[in-house]
């Protein structure tokens, strides 16, 4: 083979290898599989996102739900750090899942609110109140999915859902999306968007139950929150409208403290002692705020949380994980002093929350 043919052969080989590596890289970053089937025959898909560090995130179209966040500990052991199941039927019952929550996360007192002097009544599904979007909300429906896998950007999945005017009692046709992006910095980025054709309310979050131990050891987690205030609640967990300082209370997590260290101050009965409270972040809604971190010292896993939203709900009630639900305040539509969750046709909703994972 003469030199010119050798050069041509080498060039073609390099091009082929590059193309092969590109295809392999794309296949490695995103894969799909069937996850289950609803009674009406509708298929539920699972997507797996992978980054260059070996981190994996599984997502399903049912509820735009996260079913796995696999990250290493200080010994390099990868484990799922959210409460989840590999069995689809679990998600069809009352299962604590990392689903997208809407139209309105948390509670609305008596399921009633007014916009522009028009009163609305939404589903009552939590005693006398509305909780997490109603009987189905956004967590019990199948979302459309679009794979985002550009070589110049981190891979992701965009889930979209159309909520018709009157669904669960909420006004306005709502187009909503949540995009999950996995970066090579071991960050899971959640971008929320919603637009409407008439004034309505939107409060979108994810209800992930984090367990950095990988073994349901919730009590040994250390929490730190950059919040000086919280919103006190009544016996029905509806905010009283006050915004109180966390100083000298069991709600002060400005310095890292074990999650269960002061539960007795909430209630002497261990069965009733848990957090289900909103912490005030004083965010401007545009810039990402570092709201704090969750740490498991026995294996070194550390999770940081950033958000553009004004509050975060800390929930530890069912003992299977720790929820940090970035949000508008509970019942904010009925409290003029709280940040408003109202959106209008020319004022869409956009927010971002980022969960970052590392080792300490």
Catalytic residue IDs:
207, 325
- Which of 291, 95, 288 lies closest to 207 in space, CA to CA? 95
How far is residue 199's CA from residue 344's CA, in Å, rounded to a whole number? 4
**What single-letter DSSP state applies at residue 215?**
S
- Which of 314, 311, 324, 255 lies closest to 283 in space, CA to CA? 311
Q: Number of helices and strands (H, E) in the chain?
A: 3, 27
- Please state the φ and ψ torsions of residue 317, each to the nearest 5 degrees: -65, -35
Q: How many CA atoms lie within 13 A of 296 on its CB side?
A: 23
How far, CA to CA in Å, does 61 sit from each of 25, 27, 88, 122, 318?
23, 19, 11, 25, 25
- Which of 153, 283, 187, 296 lies closest to 228 in space, CA to CA? 283
Q: Is 22 helix (H, G, I), strand (E, B) or coil?
A: helix
- Which of 250, 41, 267 lies closest to 142 in space, CA to CA? 41
Q: Kindly write down the DSSP assignment for every residue of 80-124, as one continuous string.
A: E-B---S-HHHHTSS---B-EE-SB-SEEGGGEEEETTEEEE---
Token pair recorded at residue 22: 């590109």
How far is residue 230's CA from residue 312's CA, in Å, rounded to a whole number? 9
How far, CA to CA in Å, does 190 sit from each of 79, 113, 353?
21, 28, 5
């Amino acid at each position: 083979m003469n030199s010119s043919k050798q050069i041509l052969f080498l060039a073609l080989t390099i091009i082929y290898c590059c193309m092969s590596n590109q295809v392999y890289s794309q296949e490695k970053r995103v894969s799909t599989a069937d996850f289950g089937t609803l009674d009406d025959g509708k298929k539920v898909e699972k997507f797996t996102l992978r980054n260059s560090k070996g981190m994996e995130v599984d997502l399903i179209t049912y509820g735009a739900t996260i079913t796995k966040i696999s990250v290493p500990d200080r010994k390099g052991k990868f484990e799922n750090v959210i409460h989840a199941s590999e069995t689809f039927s679990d998600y069809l019952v009352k299962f604590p899942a990392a689903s997208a929550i809407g139209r309105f996360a948390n509670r609305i007192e008596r399921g009633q609110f007014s916009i522009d002097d028009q009163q609305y009544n939404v589903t009552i599904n939590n005693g006398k109140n509305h909780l997490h979007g109603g009987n189905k909300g956004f967590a019990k429906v199948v979302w459309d999915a679009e794979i985002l896998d550009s070589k110049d950007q981190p891979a992701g999945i965009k889930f979209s859902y159309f909520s018709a005017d009157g669904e669960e009692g909420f006004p306005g046709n709502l187009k909503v999306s949540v995009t999950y992006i996995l970066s090579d910095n071991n960050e899971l980025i959640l971008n929320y968007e919603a637009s409407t054709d008439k004034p309505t309310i939107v409060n979108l979050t994810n209800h992930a139950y984090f367990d950095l131990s990988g073994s349901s050891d919730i009590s040994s987690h250390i929490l730190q929150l950059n919040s000086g205030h919280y919103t006190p609640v009544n016996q029905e967990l509806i905010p009283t409208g006050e915004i109180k300082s966390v100083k000298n209370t069991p709600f002060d997590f400005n310095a890292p403290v074990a999650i269960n260290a002061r539960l007795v101050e909430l209630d002497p009965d261990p069965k009733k002692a848990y957090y289900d409270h909103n912490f005030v972040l004083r965010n401007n809604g545009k810039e990402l705020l570092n709201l704090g971190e969750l740490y498991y010292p026995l294996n070194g896993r550390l999770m940081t949380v950033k958000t553009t939203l004004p509050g975060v709900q800390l929930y530890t009630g069912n003992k299977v994980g720790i929820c940090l639900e970035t949000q508008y305040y509970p019942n904010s539509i009925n409290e003029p002093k709280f940040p408003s969750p109202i959106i209008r046709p020319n004022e869409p909703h956009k927010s971002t929350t980022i969960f970052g994972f590392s080792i300490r």
